[in-house]
Structure 1
Amino acid sequence: MSQEQNNVVGWFEIPVTDMPRAIKFYNAVFGYALESQQFGDEEMAWFPWVENGQGASGSLVKHEQLYQPSAQGTIVYFSSPSGDLVNELNKVETAGGKVLQQKTLITEKIGYMCLLLDSEGNRIAIHSRK
């Protein structure tokens, strides 16, 4: 192993069935400016990332045979852009999602989390220190 330390996750992909609807949801809740791009049979919209940053980035991805949204699979935790996840959580239902678990303290050291369904039916979470 090299001396450079990286987080375990290097990339994630969130399945979507309606890319414009999914982009609208993530833009509304998190304030991102996602845009879709076509790659053969696959359509993707990348989340923002910081070059040589500590975290992982990923994309929304649409491919009818390979990707299906799910509320039972892996959960991606998004860091709250505002610093307090209640700000993003308050936008979820207006943007077409559903709140599954309100803001909940994990521990004082770790912070807070909430669970929701996105516009496509994927279960995701938001984390913040406040």
Structure 2
Amino acid sequence: MSKRSIIVWGEIPVTDMEKSVAFYNKVFGYDMTIDNSGPNPMAILGGSMDDAGGHLYPGKPAKDGGNTIHLGLTDSLEAGMERCKEAGGEVVSDPIAIPSGRFAYVKDLDGNSIGLFEANA
């Protein structure tokens, strides 16, 4: 079996593109912009699709938060959790340790379930 990314693409439905882009930019330090060149507006998570990627798009979030996509932080988990709260999101778990690092469950402005992940040094 060839080496490949497990997650190839992820989509996060949001009700307000402008506010959601500002939320993800603040929490993760992204510099995303809205691309209107296709059939639907979208904002590429992190601004890059080099290996695996994902985007925000106008849509209806699942009532229960749907599937959870975990996104890597460039600094500490606690700092990301604080930025999430400051940006209007909700932290729904304490930090959880796993062999490769730590993560916490949060919800974005539309109630989408996302994981903030801090890899081990």
Q: One fold, TM greater than 0.5?
A: yes
Structure 2 residue identity aligned to 1:96: G
Q: 1:6 matched to which residue of 2?
A: 4
Runs of 4+ aligned residues of structure 1 deviating over 6 Å after TM superposition are: none
CA distance in 2, matches of 1:129, 1:37: 30
User: Rg: which structure is higher?
Assistant: 1
CA distance in 1, matches of 2:77, 2:113: 16
Cα deviation, 1:6-38, whole Å, max 9, x if unaligned, reads 122211110010000100100111110111122
Residues 112 and 57 of structure 1: CA distance in aligned 2, closer, same or farther (over 3 Å): same
Decide whether the 8 Å contact of 2:65 with 2:111 is kept in 1. Answer: no
TM-score by length of structure 1 reads: 0.81
CA distance in 2, matches of 1:115, 1:20: 23
CA distance in 2, matches of 1:6, 1:103: 29
Q: Which runs of 5+ in 2 are unaligned?
A: none
Is 1:93 the counterpart of 2:92? The answer is no
TM-score by length of structure 2 reads: 0.86
Q: What is the aligned-residue identity percentage?
A: 29
Structure 1 residue 80, shift from structure 2 partner: 1.2
Structure 1 residue 50, shift from structure 2 partner: 6.0
Is 1:61 the counterpart of 2:34? The answer is no
Is 1:35 the counterpart of 2:33? The answer is yes
Cα deviation, 1:95-118, whole Å, max 9, x if unaligned, reads 010110121223xx2221100110
Structure 2 residue identity aligned to 1:110: S
Q: 2:48 matched to which residue of 1?
A: 49
CA RMSD of aligned residues (A): 1.6
Q: 2:24 matched to which residue of 1?
A: 26
Q: Count residues with an aligned counterpart.
A: 117
CA distance in 2, matches of 1:116, 1:103: 11
Corresponding residue SS for 2:19: helix
Structure 1 residue 77, shift from structure 2 partner: 0.3
CA distance in 1, matches of 2:25, 2:56: 12
Q: 1:127 matched to which residue of 2?
A: 117
CA distance in 1, matches of 2:79, 2:34: 25
Structure richer in helix, relative to its length: 2
